[in-house]
Amino acid sequence: MAIWIFPLAIVFAIIGLIGWRAVRKWDAIAATSFNEQDHRIPEAVEDHPFSLNPIIWVIGVAALFILFVIFFYWASSN
């Protein structure tokens, strides 16, 4: 099981970076003003509402790591 410490640390770092960037982005939006009319939805979010969602990115990174582990054990068993 010690073989998975470094890959898991890399996955945690990627997930942490995604979270940090999302919070930083939300903080910048909230710092501009508190007027509800000033906060328009960006055009990129209107066009692709799921692509900029940090939860989707975290689930994707975790799913890729899980698939890699499954493939690794499948390949090593043959």
Contacting residues for 38 by C-beta, under 8 A, at least 6 apart: 32
pLDDT of 25 reads: 77
Q: Specify the higher pLDDT residue, 46 or 5.
A: 5
Domain ranges of the chain: 2-31+45-77
* Chain segment 53-77, per-residue pLDDT in tens: 888 889 999 999 999 999 999 999 8
51 vs 26, 28, 35, 42, 62, CA distance in Å? 16, 20, 26, 13, 16
pTM for this one? 0.67
pLDDT of 11 reads: 94
Dihedral sign for Cα atoms in the order 51, 70, 68, 24:
positive
pLDDT of 59 reads: 92
Q: Residue 14 burial (CB < 10 Å; 0-12/13-18/19+)?
A: middle
Q: Identify which of 28, 21, 27, 14 has the alpha carbon closest to the alpha carbon of residue 58.
A: 14
